[in-house]
Amino acid sequence: MSGEYVQLLKKRALSMLRLAERLLSENELDLSVLLSEHATNLYLKAVLYRLIGEEYRGHNIRALLGVLATVLEEEGLRQEAERVIDFLKRSRRELAELKEGHTRSIYGIYEYSQYQAKKLLEVAKSVIKLLEQIEQGIFETQ
């Protein structure tokens, strides 16, 4: 079941990412941001579940990436942990904005601009790409 659960979460995450792209092209910017944030969260949680078999709650992308770095370090995967930490350092502000999109896209008093929504979609894609590369390096070499 655990492998099926991971695949289900990833399928949902990638579907949300595609839908976020479509919504961006249709100028539904707030919903595009919301789905970008959800896609990132789901994919992160899928990778964490695959690594340790535990579900994580919450929507703080930076905190989840921090947990991932810690888990990788504990598993002796120092190089992968460093990649995550480096990504966190380089993308701190963008990740905070993506996290904020979870609430602001629904309850905010301002709407996202095309530029902002596109930027946050790109951040989501970059997180997922990083996670795919890390997983590939860990699980395809075993």
Q: Which CATH number do you get for residue 120?
A: 1.20.120.330
Nearest Cα to Cα of residue 129 among 33, 32, 47? 47
Whole-angstrom Cα distance, residue 51 to residue 72?
8
Could you tell me the residue range of the domain that residue 135 belongs to?
Answer: 2-139
- The per-residue pLDDT for range 21-67, each reduced to its tens digit, is 999 999 999 999 999 999 999 999 999 999 999 888 888 999 999 99
How many domains are there within the chain? 1
Q: CA–CA separation, 45 vs 30, rounded Å? A: 23
Cα distances (Å, whole numbers) of residue 93 to 40, 85, 123, 129: 15, 14, 10, 18
Dihedrals phi, psi of 2, to nearest 5 degrees:
-60, -40
Phi and psi torsions of 59, nearest 5°? -130, 15
pTM of the full predicted structure? 0.93
